[in-house]
Structure 1
Amino acid sequence: MGRFRIAFIGGLLVLLVARPVWAVGPWETNPEAEAALERGLEWLARNQGPKGNWGSNDLGLVGMGTLAFLAAGHMPGHGPYGDNVDRSLDFILENAKPSGLLNISIPHRDMYNHGLTTFVLGQAYGMTDDARIGRTLDAALKLIYNTQCRDGGWDYEARRQDRGHDLSLAVMQAKAIRSAADSGLAVPPGIVPLAIQSVREHYKAKNGTRGLDNPKVKEGPGQFTYDGNRGTTAMAAAGVVCLQEYGQYDDWRIPKNMTLISREIERLKVENSHNGRLPFDAYTLYYVGQALYQVGDREDINEPYWRRNYPKLRDHLIGCQRLKPGDVDEHGSWDATGHVGGKPGRLYGTAVACFILAIPNRYLPILQEGKIEGLTQKLGLD
């Protein structure tokens, strides 16, 4: 069975420096990975700017920068990057709207930025129990609940409609709810089961069938899709992460999507160019790394997803990180590739790469192991 993580709250996570204390062994992390992570964090700190937002008004990107530090064990106000965490969190909290919305970009990015930023605040709250973060997080969660569409998904704009737009939005909001649920913040009945249903409805079999009640959908290979039709590695991984984080370990869709993800990782070539290009675009990498970790090594089907695939991702990240000592704009960075370019793309790529390299440290509440029974009952998933 896959592993589930539950938050430590009330200040239990007290180690404040980025050094691996939870890693199982050298196949998870090594000195080269630690050095690459530190170079990435140094790039983020060096390029953050006085406002704490890396020159970006995209709260999702600012949140990702924050998440990189948190994932490496750096807490607000403590240690070498404590000030960086403080400033980025301050920027997010100061720009939360009275409605609870965490977006100051265009309305079409409302729920994308909101979901990702809410997830990050949930992790920060689980690590600090900071009342200021808690108040903003509570308002942000209520907005998510109030804008859930009738089919269980969400739209890009913060509004309730009949149908959600796509799987990426459903997963992002579900992760935000999961990020805060085990910190004791209230979740109205029915929200999570409906969201999980929406995720499952985005699965499509290779034979062309879809739907929760169609028996043929289980036949042969298949994967999660963006909109019911377009299957991508990112959506395969995102759907898996959502199911895992809500304890749906025995869902038959998980191994089918993990087969696809593993195949894509196997296609990666050994990288040592230090050209800043990630093994996948940043969005895809963000979910692929989490899917591998959350599923772990499935002994019941003899599939060591995490042990077999994570070292390949890790080593690829080490080999493509830019190494240009003295160049403040490039040394230690990665590019996002995909749809985000320029300085925002470098922030996104570097933050996600650091997050993936820091996963073995298990500092984030979402990466902590624990029992799920109480949470599933509370959320109506038992």
Structure 2
Amino acid sequence: MSRRMRICQWRLRAMPADAAAARPRRLARLGRILLAACVAAVSLAGQPLGAPGDEASPALAKYHERIDESIDRALAWLAHEQRDDGSWTESSQSRNSSGIAGLCVMAFLAKGHTPGVGPYGEAINKGVDFLLANQEPNGLLVRGREGHGAMYSHSIAALALSEVSGMVDAERQKRIDKALSAALRLILAAQQMPKDRNHAGGWRYNHDSRDSDISCTSWAIMALRSARNNGAAVPTEAIDRGLEYIMNCQVTRDGGFAYQPGGGSGWGRTGTALLCLELCGRHRDRAALMAGEWILKNLPDQYGRGDHFSYAMYYCSQGMFQLGDEYWERWATRMYEIMLRAQEKAGNWPQARENVGEGANYYTTAMAVLAMSVSYRQLPIYQR
């Protein structure tokens, strides 16, 4: 097997792990790489990617052609808007730059595009190079000082690098291995900061924060879970403690989830919790089903309504797809209608109430692609 087709098991120095956790799932990952190669070959031949995985649902099958066309327009817009340095934001001081670049890279991967191949191969490579160039000596994948908390962008960037790992050329793979080792160590160290009982196990805006929230925690969990799936020696305790914090955010009276323990339910937060539960071994358990029921009782009715709209659409789409059956069908029908109506002629989605700041249009568009492409099942972490 060539070097390009081997999956690197990252050696995370000073990181505790058991042997089972460190054992890479090479066959699954190899299958992912071979699938990506097949997709690239089909793309080069001028043929479209296959339809989303909604074949069992006639109610959703009618959307396939429109979804395909919508996502293609969005990716063309994102590629056109990418800057020469591989980023999508104007200011080099924006903390959002790495997070938005990570989301855009994953948006291309979600449709089956691969690094260095096909119409968006160069855009993916440039995005990866930007993420790698933005790492600080302590492992933080964020260099800017303006904008929201750095751990948001850091965890998203780490997730993107983990998802693209194994598909890049040998030289980039070496750089990814080194960068991810440092990035994951920082995530694990941030979880160990002294915190009171209500915040223990979670993550917050900065790597030295003494409190936690469900949003930062979910991105960190997904970065760790993706890396663990690839064979990184991520201790199970770290993911388990993160899930314990997520469960502390559940609102017992209605089954939804709050931003922090003691708060009220919200559909973005509930989707966040649902996805974390589903991806971390708690498929369709009581808490996950209660979250799914809460979401169905609080379906959105129009684009942009409510705070953090794109974030909520992304997490609920990913989580409800994992639940499957009627949960996914009812959610997807509403989500597709809202998102298809809202897309602008240029291919992007308009800004919503996101609290993102610079780069909001790129954020909303990448999140829309990730929400609408979930049933393509191209990103390894989101596969059922």
**Pair in the same fold by TM > 0.5:** yes
TM-score calculated relative to the size of structure 2: 0.79
1: CA distance between counterparts of 2:284 and 2:343? Answer: 37
Is contact 2:352-2:364 (8 Å) kept?
yes
2: CA distance between counterparts of 1:111 and 1:202? Answer: 19
Q: Give the superposition deviation at 1:277.
A: 5.1
2: CA distance between counterparts of 1:22 and 1:321? Answer: 19
| 1:245 partnered with 2:279 | yes
2: CA distance between counterparts of 1:190 and 1:23? Answer: 33
Is contact 2:268-2:309 (8 Å) kept?
no
Q: Give the superposition deviation at 1:184.
A: 0.6
Identity %: 29
Match of 2:251 in 1: 204
Match of 2:190 in 1: 147
Match of 2:53 in 1: 23
Match of 1:78 in 2: 117
Number of matched residues?
A: 328
More helix by share: 2
Is contact 1:320-1:334 (8 Å) kept?
yes
| 1:166 partnered with 2:213 | yes
| Cα distance, 1:343–1:192 mapped onto 2, change above 3 Å | closer
| 1:90 partnered with 2:129 | yes
- The one-letter code of the counterpart of 2:153 is N
- The one-letter code of the counterpart of 1:314 is Y
2: CA distance between counterparts of 1:235 and 1:60? Answer: 19
Aligned residue runs from structure 1 range 353-368, under 5 A: 353-368=368-383
1: CA distance between counterparts of 2:206 and 2:180? Answer: 19
Q: Residue 175 of structure 2 is aligned with which of 132, 135, 140? A: 132
- The one-letter code of the counterpart of 1:223 is G
2: CA distance between counterparts of 1:21 and 1:44? Answer: 21
Q: Give the superposition deviation at 1:240.
A: 0.7
1: CA distance between counterparts of 2:181 and 2:273? Answer: 25
| Cα distance, 1:333–1:22 mapped onto 2, change above 3 Å | closer
Q: Residue 118 of structure 1 is aligned with which of 141, 158, 163? A: 158
| 1:180 partnered with 2:227 | yes
2: CA distance between counterparts of 1:65 and 1:132? Answer: 20
| Cα distance, 1:346–1:359 mapped onto 2, change above 3 Å | same
Q: Give the superposition deviation at 1:246.
A: 0.5
| 1:234 partnered with 2:273 | no
1: CA distance between counterparts of 2:144 and 2:67? Answer: 34
2: CA distance between counterparts of 1:182 and 1:35? Answer: 31
2: CA distance between counterparts of 1:116 and 1:42? Answer: 22
Q: Residue 295 of structure 1 is aligned with which of 323, 337, 351? A: 323
- The one-letter code of the counterpart of 1:226 is Y
SS in 2 for 1:24: coil
- The one-letter code of the counterpart of 1:135 is K
Match of 2:344 in 1: 322
Is contact 2:348-2:361 (8 Å) kept?
yes
- The one-letter code of the counterpart of 2:119 is P
- The one-letter code of the counterpart of 1:244 is E
- The one-letter code of the counterpart of 1:364 is L
Q: Give the superposition deviation at 1:128.
A: 4.5
Is contact 2:342-2:349 (8 Å) kept?
yes
Q: Which runs of 5+ in 2 are unaligned?
A: 1-24, 195-199
TM-score calculated relative to the size of structure 1: 0.80
| Cα distance, 1:127–1:225 mapped onto 2, change above 3 Å | farther
Match of 1:156 in 2: 205
2: CA distance between counterparts of 1:342 and 1:99? Answer: 26
Is contact 1:277-1:334 (8 Å) kept?
no
1: CA distance between counterparts of 2:183 and 2:356? Answer: 28
| Cα distance, 1:264–1:204 mapped onto 2, change above 3 Å | closer
SS in 2 for 1:140: helix
2: CA distance between counterparts of 1:338 and 1:119? Answer: 24
Q: Which runs of 5+ in 1 are unaligned?
A: 1-5, 207-220, 270-275, 298-303, 324-330, 370-382
Q: Give the superposition deviation at 1:146.
A: 1.0
Is contact 2:115-2:167 (8 Å) kept?
no
Match of 1:217 in 2: none
Question: 1:309-348, CA deviations, whole angstroms, 9 ceiling, x for partnerless residues?
Answer: 212212221111112xxxxxxx111024113467611101
Match of 2:101 in 1: 62
Q: Give the superposition deviation at 1:189.
A: 4.9
- The one-letter code of the counterpart of 1:312 is R
CA RMSD of aligned residues (A): 2.3
Q: Residue 37 of structure 1 is aligned with which of 71, 78, 81? A: 71
Is contact 1:203-1:222 (8 Å) kept?
yes
Q: Give the superposition deviation at 1:49.
A: 1.9
Match of 1:348 in 2: 363
